[in-house]
A and B are shown apart, each in its own frame.
Chain A
């Protein structure tokens, strides 16, 4: 849009008006065009949906808000109140190292090595015969260890406690936490920071187990034992036969639910063969009583909770 308006310039009024009128007009036009271009660009920048610099957009929800604060607070709560025997752990350092494990890194290329420093720092010995694995029974297993405080699921260890239900990721192009989104399998990103974390700590949890270990399985699913679960993929293969002599499985059926799988079904026999091949004894119990009581809390009047055998 050309600027049509121009005022007659009297000669000698200003130094710049030595140039010809044509040049002045050209100059005005160019300047106005420049201003318009600048306005257009600025408007475009302001109006454009803003995404944080250098953060890619993924399918999964972003890092949990206040991730750092939550990690630090949970670490102190765990080491000072839940398991005071760990009070000498340096939570500040643990938080720092946790963040370093994934910041400034490609969130589709997380590795076990990324988490090694964190694992060493938060190292913790779980007493023998106290390890409880779970697969598709998270809530029930945790209810059980909340009552039986001497037992540990992974989420009852320091690292598991800190990270439970949190999500996190960074970006190789930035040193900042990505609060907008994080990659998941839907992004074709199985090596994302959260999945790799849980694989890594699960492996260590299994490696450190000793004596009799237990697993809570869901017999109301098609497959109580799923080879693709963390338990099936990682944990059972990292039990140390020289340390773990027995794996005891508790196959629980939902109260009023179907009894699709049980100790005698094929998926459990599959589990049994894997375990036995590793020279570990396998035992199985349907509806292990103490855990059954827990299920009955929600359904106290159901026949399976009230009638005698």
Chain B
């Protein structure tokens, strides 16, 4: 499983965050300034032509190339005049080499499938996915991915589903490439699109590599619809104990009332296949404790699950995940464990319908 370069979590958080402002400050502004720099140098060029004629070149010879150059620049100038500044949408453009990455990931995934499922045809899966690339980038519905899902769908191991909000990297690390858990990005139909972006150009065929629409631009954009469809399937195919990892240090709340988990996962939980739901509210080591079990949006989630008739439990700073966070903060006092906690840890997992408010301090023997 790949890692990200430090600092890309914010940029790549588009899948989960409906808040666009943070992401806008990264690749897009760089693109804008680059474009305006080019424009200013190009607009200088026509003026160089008269200078050359002053040196004694025949004006008629230079007129034609000058006109041609002007014709090439006119569309760009028009676009600039319209204020679009080269980026039509708010989101990242299509990922370069999309097809190669997609096929590589699909073929790479086979070992994780059961023997019967290993004959999946990655070319056919790509062809099915590709259909949305012919559609208007604001008219792509989740159902447009139905064929893609039907070809790439596979069984999910029981008790291993891991849902989450606002902690993509932590989830990836903890899941450990399906060794511990199987979050959506470790399922074939989630793996192929992870951290990628794609869309057709607005008024032409061919992919738009400059920008793609986000939810702010239009609801039915290719990437959001993909994740909606994938989330629905993931939910429907999950069984046994369901785990949810939330970020209790997230300023906007641990459980986004409107989000992929709330709108496209919870509603599709299959009651007859699910035994219970376990929520982990993780906090940053030494970070703010914005919400914990039984508080704020977490309480909203708990009440919703109760209303739906699910058995649930909630744990603050679930120890195995906290241990993982402590790798990066091994000397922090919050990573020192006192033994009085150890006895309560075993009873913790058996509790149902209870919210816990303790935070655990961990230490590790040398």
Contacts and interface: CB of A to CB of B under 8 A. Distances in A.
B95 A82 contact: no
Contact of A143 (B6, B176, B335): B176
A300 interface: yes
A201 B336 CA distance: 40
A82 B176 CA distance: 16
Interface in B286-319: 319
A70 interface: yes
B174 A297 contact: yes
A91 B330 CA distance: 38
Given A66-B122, A149-B3, A76 B366 contact: no
B4 interface: yes
B323 A76 contact: no
Interface string B320-333: 11011011101100
B5 A70 contact: no
B338 interface: yes
Interface stretch (A46-54, A121-129, A183-191, A284-292): A284-292
Given A66-B122, A82-B4, A73 B195 contact: no
Given A293-B330, A297-B320, A306-B345, A83 B107 contact: no
Contacts, number: 149
Given A76-B101, A149-B6, A293 B345 contact: no
Contacts of A74: 104, 108
A304 B362 CA distance: 11
Helix, strand, loop or mixed for chain B's interface?
helix
B339 interface: yes
A27 B122 CA distance: 57
A277 interface: no
- Name which of B330, B339, B345, B365 has the most chain A CB atoms within 10 A of its CB: B365
Given A81-B2, A147-B173, A293-B324, A300 B345 contact: yes
Contacts of A71: 104
Contacts of B320: 296-298, 300
A305 B346 contact: no
B105 A305 contact: no
A77 B342 contact: no
Contacts of A305: 323, 337, 362, 364-365
B108 A91 contact: no
Interface string A58-73: 0000000110011111
A308 B338 contact: yes
Interface in B79-130: 95-97, 100-105, 107-108, 110, 122
A309 interface: yes
B364 A304 contact: yes
Nearest to A84: B5
Contacts of A293: 323-324, 326-327, 330, 335, 362, 364
Contacts of B336: 308
Interface in B326-359: 326-328, 330-331, 335-339, 341-342, 345-346
Interface in A113-158: 143-150, 156
Contact of A300 (B5, B96, B319): B319
B2 A161 contact: yes
B1 interface: yes
Contact of A73 (B5, B105, B335): B105
Contact of B324 (A70, A72, A147, A289): A147
Contacts of B338: 308
Contact of B3 (A69, A146, A304, A309): A146
A173 interface: no
Nearest to A82: B2
Contacts of A205: none
B363 interface: yes
- Name which of A143, A144, A145 has the most chain B CB atoms within 10 A of its CB: A143
A301 to B, nearest CB: 6
A10 interface: no
A231 interface: no
Interface size on A, as a range, is: 35 or more
B6 A150 contact: yes
A305 B3 CA distance: 27
A274 interface: no
A80 interface: yes
Interface string B1-41: 11111101000000000000000000000000000000000
A73 B364 contact: no
Contact of B104 (A76, A148, A150): A76
B101 A148 contact: no
A303 B341 CA distance: 12
B108 A73 contact: yes
Nearest to A145: B3
A77 B337 contact: no
A41 B254 CA distance: 74
B104 A301 contact: no
A240 B6 CA distance: 28
A267 B335 CA distance: 32
Given A76-B101, A81-B195, A65 B3 contact: no
Contact of A82 (B5, B97, B105, B174): B5
B95 A80 contact: yes
A85 interface: yes
Contacts of A149: 3-6
Contacts of B326: 290, 293
A28 interface: no
Contacts of B331: 289
Given A91-B100, A148-B327, A77 B339 contact: no
Contacts of B363: 308-309
A78 interface: yes
8 contacts: A73-B108, A76-B104, A80-B95, A81-B8, A81-B95, A146-B3, A298-B180, A306-B345
Given A76-B97, A290-B326, A301-B342, 4 more contacts: A69-B107, A80-B97, A307-B342, A308-B363
Q: Which 3 A-B pairs have the closest CB atoms?
A: A73-B104, A66-B107, A306-B342
